[in-house]
Structure 1
Amino acid sequence: LARGYLNREDETAKRFVADPFVVGERMYRTGDLVKWVNGGIEYIGRIDQQVKVRGYRIELSEIEVQLAQLSEVQDAAVTAVKDKGGNTAIAAYVTPESADIEALKSALKETLPDYMIPAFWVTLSELPVTANGKVDRKALPEPDIEAGSGEYKAPTTDMEELLAGIWQDVLGM
């Protein structure tokens, strides 16, 4: 993979650990959680909050940080959910319930790329927390997947008509 991060010894020390199988070598800590099953490796998931959305690896905490910096937001949590097509999408949970979602989206677009803007939004009076005071992600309500799917908008220009026709051919419609 690599020997480390160029001129970033702190990152290298965090991500590259001593190889227990080969003395003096290092291994890359990926963040993947796996287990041995019948002599093979079974992927269980991630031990961090990194997800892959539309081909991009995203740390959900980066979106939470940007949301928390907005004056209209008291608290925020971000999770990965499955959309109607079974694809991974981002859901944002914000307080207060009176938050203007369109204003929040617009503000995030100034600091985050399009693929990091949450597709689903839930406003809550308060975020559920564990006994330790951390956000209880398991207690967050499921977002309304139907509401986030949007309405069909027919092609309006010649170029849109051409592209829609190409996609129909590709999808066999």
Structure 2
Amino acid sequence: MPGPGGSRRYRTGDRARFRLDGTLEILGRLDRQVKVRGYRIEPGEVESVLLTHPSVRQATVTVRDDRLVAYVVQDPAPLHDHLAAELPPHLMPSAIVSLDRIPLTPGGKVDLAALPAPGQPLGTAYEPPESAAEELVCLVWSEVLGLERVGVLDDFFQLGGHSLLATRTTARIAAATDLEVPLKLAFTHPTPRLLAAALEHLAEEADERG
């Protein structure tokens, strides 16, 4: 309800309209702000970073099943490293879906209902771990993600991982190795083979420091 004449008014960030019967209909937020795992997120911020990558022609970001999902029209190129360099962990999409085009409504807006569900694991042939570091990463990932097994070429985010689960995995790996494992490694090294190589490098540096 509006206050008395002359009183201060504030913008809420909501979009609304009056119906013919005088009732107020809330249409949604102007800023598209969403809440994912306790964080307030503006999808447009993630979209802006995606669009700075030279391979991405179109991008839209939305929430599905409490996961931040990015949809992109792009030339083939990995995007996790690009996003991880520009975004904090809680803004990292848990899945990136490549499309031929972004579906639009007749009004020219993104048709969120027409966006496909994020893909499940990549389906690459299972490749077992070959080193102790790879075995550790695969074991931790399988426990945290609730999977029977994880291969060294599987992608953490394609397997259903997200920033909260990435935090859990790095914490468990750090506890098992007595290494300081930066959370960012989970995003820049999204397969057990890549992450294990990074862990071996961290261990070498720790040994050199004595």
Indicate the TM-score class for this superposition, using the shorter chain for normalisation: 0.5 to 0.7
2:11 to 5, 20, 29: 29
Give the deviation of 1:22 after TM superposition.
2.5
In structure 2, relative to structure 1, the CA distance for the partners of 1:33 and 1:160 (3 Å cut) is: farther
| Partner residue in 1 for 2:48 | 65
Between the aligned partners of 1:156 and 1:132, the Cα distance in structure 2 is 49
In structure 2, relative to structure 1, the CA distance for the partners of 1:45 and 1:56 (3 Å cut) is: farther
More strand by share: 1
Please say if 1:95 is aligned against 2:78.
no
Give the alignment's Cα RMSD to 1 decimal.
Answer: 3.3
Q: Secondary structure at the match of 1:63?
A: helix
1:149 to 156, 160, 164: 160
- Matched letter for residue 99 of structure 2: L
Aligned residues: percent identity?
A: 38
Unaligned runs of 5+ in 1: 1-18, 35-43, 83-87, 162-173
Give the deviation of 1:70 after TM superposition.
1.0
In structure 2, relative to structure 1, the CA distance for the partners of 1:55 and 1:160 (3 Å cut) is: farther
Unaligned runs of 5+ in 2: 17-25, 122-157, 178-210
Q: When the two structures are aligned, how many residues end up with a matched partner? A: 126
More helix by share: 2
Give the deviation of 1:108 after TM superposition.
1.3
Give the deviation of 1:80 after TM superposition.
0.9
Give the deviation of 1:50 after TM superposition.
0.4
Between the aligned partners of 2:33 and 2:120, the Cα distance in structure 1 is 21
Give the deviation of 1:99 after TM superposition.
2.9
| Partner residue in 2 for 1:140 | 115
TM-score (normalised: structure 2): 0.50
Give the deviation of 1:75 after TM superposition.
0.7
Give the deviation of 1:64 after TM superposition.
0.8
TM-score (normalised: structure 1): 0.59
Give the deviation of 1:72 after TM superposition.
0.8
Between the aligned partners of 1:107 and 1:72, the Cα distance in structure 2 is 11
2:91 to 107, 113, 116: 116
